[in-house]
Amino acid sequence: MKMIRRAFGFWLILLLPFWASPAQATDSVSFTGNFVQGGLAIGHTLPGARVRFAGKQVRVSAEGLFLIGFGRDAGPTTSLEVVIPGGMAESRILTIGKRDYDIQRIEGLPQKKVTPDAVALKRINADNALIRLAREEDRDRADFSSGFDWPLRGRVSGVYGSQRILNGKPRNPHNGVDIAAPEGTLITVPASGVVAMAHEDMFFTGKTVMLDHGHGLTSVYAHMSEILVKQGQWVAKGASLGRVGRSGRATGAHLHWGVTWFKTHLDPMLLTGPMPRVTPKP
């Protein structure tokens, strides 16, 4: 089978320059994923191809896999350029679907967690530096190809992209999904990856874990009551990650789950599909 695929790849490279005009050479790249705001697409191209997305080079795995992500306000179009081995370039304009976002009002947060003082700001900056560092990493691992499951079952109490008004003041949009569940509920690893960060006490997010799924794709787990992984460890999909809590800035026990491609926040729900029905216990 491997031989056949290799032979096929060889012929594709050989034939394309003679066969296809650049506009028709669509065999060199295909996608699975969501071409909408907050979506992630996995590209499949020829091993050794070079890919530029929105003007920046992206990593292509030895198997020809690459990632591109679309932010909350991305689009309506963006550009992709693929150069396959042999030097032929193919340019594409990608159309990104537009979404409507909710307005979410949250009242009753402790004022010092909404408008932090100087001491808190120092902590917030230190926290942000760690998060930024983890998000800059471009690991040569395609752990994301295991696909994503929900990290727990529960009521979705906050969705991606909502414009948030905290204690009456407009703030940054919500860049993840909130899943309400009783304190102590087990959280499992939704997709394999390396633990890029495990922090016991961040100002906003409390006990926080970040996973690195490769090619700039990271995920964050916030407000936990307990962390069950260690920084630097590789964790398999389905392994225990932590327990639901309300540490940091939270009004009740829930998991905040975010997925980010470098600095671009994505919608985790587009990776998993809707929350499966929680079967009530008899």
Catalog residues that contact Zn ion under the rule CB under 5 A.
Answer: 158, 178, 256
**Amino acid of residue 34:** N
CA distance 12 to 266: 34
Distance of closest approach, residue 106 Cβ to Zn ion, in angstroms: 10
Distance of closest approach, residue 258 Cβ to Zn ion, in angstroms: 7
Distance of closest approach, residue 158 Cβ to Zn ion, in angstroms: 5
Closer residue to Zn ion in complex, CB, 84/220: 220
Residues 6+ apart with CB under 8 A from 225: 183, 184, 207, 242, 243, 244, 245, 246, 247, 253
Distance of closest approach, residue 251 Cβ to Zn ion, in angstroms: 11
CA distance 163 to 173: 4
Distance of closest approach, residue 208 Cβ to Zn ion, in angstroms: 12
Closer residue to Zn ion in complex, CB, 32/251: 251
Per the DSSP assignment, residues forming a β-bridge with 89 are 83
Query: Tokens representing 228?
Result: 């069950």
CA distance 154 to 165: 24
Largest Cα separation within the chain, whole Å, is 67
Closer residue to Zn ion in complex, CB, 178/267: 178
Closer residue to Zn ion in complex, CB, 120/156: 156
Distance of closest approach, residue 216 Cβ to Zn ion, in angstroms: 22
Distance of closest approach, residue 86 Cβ to Zn ion, in angstroms: 47
Closer residue to Zn ion in complex, CB, 78/162: 162
Closer residue to Zn ion in complex, CB, 51/134: 134
Closer residue to Zn ion in complex, CB, 34/175: 175
The CB-nearest residue to Zn ion is 256
